[in-house]
Amino acid sequence: MCFLSPNDFVLADDFETYINEWNKKSELATHYLLKAEKFLKEGNKSKGCSNQKKASEYGINATESLIKAIKINGSTDGLDVFESGLNKWRELRDFCE
């Protein structure tokens, strides 16, 4: 017989919430990163950097959500790859300062 506690349902809800945040915010990060690339190629550093910062903030939030979801799922394999990705987003954010 298997018993589930209320905490099991909360963790499942949290996992889904974090995965949904990952999906939405990673899409936004990609959107703003493409806009930044376009503006930078056109020579508009101001708009390029503005969009790059937006992209990086969404990328940071998305990656943090994914890391939380992975931890809730009980897996820590490969977390260092995602931590590295998180640092890349931070570098991208700070590049235009």
Which residue in the block uniquely carries the two structure tokens 């101001």? 46
Contact 17, 54 (CB under 8 A): no
Helices (H), 1-97: 6-41, 45-72, 79-95
pTM: 0.83
Using pLDDT thresholds of 50, 70 and 90, give the confidence band for residue 85. very high
Pick the CATH number of 14-70+81-95 from 2.10.260, 1.10.150, 1.20.58, 1.10.530: 1.20.58
Query: What confidence score (pLDDT) does residue 1 get?
Result: 43
| pLDDT above 60: residue 6 | no
Domain boundaries, the chain: 14-70+81-95
Q: Once rounded to an integer, what is the mean pLDDT over residues 52-70?
A: 96
Tell me what the pLDDT averaged over the chain comes to: 88
- Please give the residue that has the higher pLDDT: either 12 or 76: 76
